[in-house]
A and B are shown apart, each in its own frame.
Chain A
Amino acid sequence: MMGLRDLANRLKAKPEELDAERLHDRFGGMDLTPIDQLECRTPSRVGGEVKRIRVAPRKGIPALEMVLTDGTADVVAVFTGRRHIAGIEHGRAVIIEGIAREERGRKVMLNPAYTLISS
Chain B
Amino acid sequence: MANSLKRILIGKPLASADEQHQRLSKKIALPVFSSDAISSTAYATEEILHVFLIAGVGAAAYTKLVPISIMVVVLLAVVVVSYRQTIFAYPSGGGSYVVSRENLGEIPSLVAGSSLLTDYILTVAVSVAGGVAAIVAAFPSLAPNRVELCVGFIVLMTLANLRGLKESGALFAPPTYIYVLSLVTLIVVGLYRVYVQHLGPIAHTGKPAEELAGLKSIGLFLFLKAFASGAVALSGVEAVSNGVPAFKKPESKNASTTLIWMAVILGSCFFGLSLVAKHLQPVPGYGGTVLAQLAEQIYGGRNALFFITQFATFAVLILAANTSYADYPRLSSIIAKDGYLPRQFSNRGDRLVFSNGIIFLAVAAIALIVGFKGKIDALIPLYAVGVFTGFTLSQTGMCVHHVKIKEPGWKRNLVINAVGALTTGLVAAIVITTKFLSGAWISVLVIVLLSAAFKSISRHYVRVRESVSVNPGYKVQRHQHLVVVLVGSMNKGVLHALQYAKSLAPDRLIAVSVVSDPEEERHFREQWDLFDIPIDLQTISSPYRDLTGSILRYIDELDRESADEMITVVIPEFVTKFTSQWLHNQSALAIKAKLLYRPNTVVTSVPIIVD
- Contacting pair A92 B518 (CB below 8 A): yes
The contact sample of 20 A-B pairs, CB cut-off 8 A, is A15-B544, A16-B546, A16-B549, A18-B544, A19-B544, A49-B541, A51-B540, A52-B540, A53-B538, A54-B536, A54-B539, A55-B537, A57-B528, A57-B535, A57-B536, A58-B529, A60-B536, A90-B515, A90-B539, A106-B561
- Contacting pair A90 B525 (CB below 8 A): no
Please tell me if A56 contacts chain B, counting CB pairs below 8 Å.
Answer: yes
Nearest B residue to A58 by beta-carbon distance? B529
- Contacting pair A60 B534 (CB below 8 A): yes
Taken together as a complex, chains A and B put the C-alpha atoms of A54 and B535 apart, in Å, by: 10
User: Which residues of B509-526 have CB atoms within 8 Å of chain A's CB atoms?
Assistant: 515, 517-518, 520-522, 524-525
With contacts A58-B529, A58-B532, A84-B525 known, what are 8 further pairs, Cβ within 8 A? A15-B549, A50-B541, A51-B541, A54-B538, A55-B525, A56-B536, A58-B528, A60-B534
- Contacting pair A105 B541 (CB below 8 A): no
B-facing mask of A2-19, CB < 8 A → 1, else 0?
000000000000111011
- For B517, list chain A residues within 8 Å (CB): 90-91
Please tell me if A89 contacts chain B, counting CB pairs below 8 Å.
Answer: yes
Taken together as a complex, chains A and B put the C-alpha atoms of A16 and B480 apart, in Å, by: 29
Q: For residue B546, give the distance in angstroms from its CB to the closest CB of chain A.
A: 5
Nearest A residue to B534 by beta-carbon distance? A57
- Contacting pair A89 B521 (CB below 8 A): yes
Q: For residue B524, give the distance in angstroms from its CB to the closest CB of chain A.
A: 6
Check A90/B541 contact, CB under 8 A, given A16-B553, A59-B534, A60-B534: yes
Please tell me if B207 contacts chain A, counting CB pairs below 8 Å.
Answer: no
Query: Of A58, A91, A104, which one neighbours B518 at CB under 8 angstroms?
Result: A91
Q: For residue B559, give the distance in angstroms from its CB to the closest CB of chain A.
A: 11
Q: For residue B176, give the distance in angstroms from its CB to the closest CB of chain A.
A: 67
Please tell me if B533 contacts chain A, counting CB pairs below 8 Å.
Answer: yes
- For A22, list chain B residues within 8 Å (CB): 543
- Contacting pair B543 A19 (CB below 8 A): yes
* 8 pairs of A and B residues whose beta carbons are closest in the complex: A89-B518, A90-B541, A15-B544, A55-B537, A104-B561, A57-B534, A15-B546, A90-B518
Q: For residue B514, give the distance in angstroms from its CB to the closest CB of chain A.
A: 10
Please indicate which of the listed interface residues A52, A60, A90, A92 has the most CB atoms of chain B within 10 Å of its own CB. A90
Check A91/B524 contact, CB under 8 A, given A15-B546, A56-B536: no
Q: For residue A81, give the distance in angstroms from its CB to the closest CB of chain B.
A: 17
Nearest A residue to B529 by beta-carbon distance? A58
Nearest A residue to B516 by beta-carbon distance? A90
Q: For residue A1, give the distance in angstroms from its CB to the closest CB of chain B.
A: 26
- Contacting pair A104 B562 (CB below 8 A): yes
- Contacting pair A54 B537 (CB below 8 A): yes
Please indicate which of the listed interface residues B515, B538, B539, B562 has the most CB atoms of chain A within 10 Å of its own CB. B539
Nearest B residue to A89 by beta-carbon distance? B518
- Contacting pair A57 B562 (CB below 8 A): no
Query: Of B522, B528, B541, B560, which one neighbours A91 at CB under 8 angstroms?
Result: B541
Taken together as a complex, chains A and B put the C-alpha atoms of A49 and B541 apart, in Å, by: 10
User: Which residues of B538-583 have CB atoms within 8 Å of chain A's CB atoms?
Assistant: 538-541, 543-544, 546, 549, 553-554, 560-562
Nearest A residue to B522 by beta-carbon distance? A89
- For B536, list chain A residues within 8 Å (CB): 54-57, 60
Taken together as a complex, chains A and B put the C-alpha atoms of A51 and B546 apart, in Å, by: 13
- Contacting pair B515 A55 (CB below 8 A): no
B-facing mask of A89-119, CB < 8 A → 1, else 0?
1111000000000001110000000000000
Nearest B residue to A56 by beta-carbon distance? B536
B-facing mask of A53-70, CB < 8 A → 1, else 0?
111111110000000000
Q: For residue B521, give the distance in angstroms from its CB to the closest CB of chain A.
A: 6
Taken together as a complex, chains A and B put the C-alpha atoms of A90 and B517 apart, in Å, by: 6
Q: For residue A39, give the distance in angstroms from its CB to the closest CB of chain B.
A: 20
- For A84, list chain B residues within 8 Å (CB): 525
- Contacting pair B521 A55 (CB below 8 A): yes
- For A58, list chain B residues within 8 Å (CB): 528-529, 532
Taken together as a complex, chains A and B put the C-alpha atoms of A62 and B35 apart, in Å, by: 84
Check A53/B562 contact, CB under 8 A, given A58-B528, A60-B534, A91-B541: no
Taken together as a complex, chains A and B put the C-alpha atoms of A12 and B534 apart, in Å, by: 42
- For A91, list chain B residues within 8 Å (CB): 517-518, 541, 543
Nearest B residue to A53 by beta-carbon distance? B539
Taken together as a complex, chains A and B put the C-alpha atoms of A49 and B540 apart, in Å, by: 12
Q: For residue A116, give the distance in angstroms from its CB to the closest CB of chain B.
A: 12
Q: For residue A54, give the distance in angstroms from its CB to the closest CB of chain B.
A: 6
- For A49, list chain B residues within 8 Å (CB): 541
A-facing mask of B16-47, CB < 8 A → 1, else 0?
00000000000000000000000000000000
- For A105, list chain B residues within 8 Å (CB): 560-561
- Contacting pair A59 B561 (CB below 8 A): no
Q: For residue B264, give the distance in angstroms from its CB to the closest CB of chain A.
A: 74
Q: For residue B327, give the distance in angstroms from its CB to the closest CB of chain A.
A: 54
Nearest A residue to B518 by beta-carbon distance? A89
Taken together as a complex, chains A and B put the C-alpha atoms of A36 and B102 apart, in Å, by: 65
Taken together as a complex, chains A and B put the C-alpha atoms of A54 and B529 apart, in Å, by: 13
Query: Of B528, B533, B539, which one neighbours A52 at CB under 8 angstroms?
Result: B539
Q: For residue A52, give the distance in angstroms from its CB to the closest CB of chain B.
A: 5
Q: For residue B591, give the distance in angstroms from its CB to the closest CB of chain A.
A: 16
- For B535, list chain A residues within 8 Å (CB): 57
User: Which residues of A65-93 have CB atoms within 8 Å of chain B's CB atoms?
Assistant: 84, 89-92
Taken together as a complex, chains A and B put the C-alpha atoms of A15 and B545 apart, in Å, by: 9
- For A50, list chain B residues within 8 Å (CB): 541
Nearest B residue to A104 by beta-carbon distance? B561
Taken together as a complex, chains A and B put the C-alpha atoms of A19 and B543 apart, in Å, by: 8
- For A52, list chain B residues within 8 Å (CB): 538-541, 554
Nearest B residue to A92 by beta-carbon distance? B518
